[in-house]
Structure 1
Amino acid sequence: MDMNEPLAKEVHILRDTYGRKVILVDEEGKEEDQAYHILREIELDGRHYCVLQTEENGVEDAYIFRVGDDHKIEHVVDEDEWERAAEAVDELLYYDEI
């Protein structure tokens, strides 16, 4: 891998499927009261992640989720996995600036 290339690549799977916003559904099938903006989607190590933000919160309150089979949005519970995804998102933001 070229050291000048980012760890992850940007993808648009959720945005192509749902548009710019999604509403999360809990384990019982109940929809949350608020929609989330899809800020960023990445593919890292063969996994798909998304960065979501609620309509009333700023960028400081963006959340990283894993996207599973059938576009199911899941919490990332493993701290190392979350850190790696967060690092990849930060790196892509850096590459956008240069």
Structure 2
Amino acid sequence: MGGTEAREVQILRQQLANGQMIHQETPYHLVNEVDVAGQHYALLRKADDHPDDAYLFRVNQGALEEIEDDNEWENIAEAVDEMLYFHEYQ
């Protein structure tokens, strides 16, 4: 483990009504939410995407932001992978 631990949260899920759909330019379904080192992130999927495909966004005061820093993206992706793998094989 790279030292960054993710924990599942449900902040957006509680704010969304019926269907878990987030409308940006393209509608997304909420797959999962995580908190990593006090920062909220959301995994989203477009309706016709492959189940293994997802988009990772930072959530800042309820707004989705793209993660532009490669190191941040890699750290969060690794933490999310470890969290999901850990839950899947418990």
> Which residue, 5, 28, 35 being the options, matches 2:27?
35
Question: Aligned ranges for residues 14-93 of structure 1 at < 5 Å?
Answer: 14-19=12-17, 20-24=20-24, 32=25, 34-69=26-61, 71-93=62-84
Letter in 1 for 2:12: L
User: Aligned residues: percent identity?
Assistant: 41
Matched with 2:8 is: 10
In the alignment, structure 2 segments of 5+ residues that lack a partner are: none
Q: Partner of 2:52: helix, strand, or coil?
A: helix
Give the number of the structure whose alpha-carbon radius of gyration is greater: 1
Higher relative contact order (CA 8 A, sep 6+): 2
Q: Partner of 2:76: helix, strand, or coil?
A: helix
1:61 CA displacement: 2.7
Aligned length: 85
Scaled by the length of structure 1, the TM-score of the pair is: 0.79
Letter in 2 for 1:22: I
Task: Give the Cα separation in 1 of the matches to 2:87 and 2:52.
Answer: 18
Task: Give the Cα separation in 1 of the matches to 2:49 and 2:31.
Answer: 13
Which of the two has greater helix per residue? 1
Q: List, as ranges, runs of 4+ consecutive aligned residues in structure 1 with deviation greater than 4 Å.
A: none
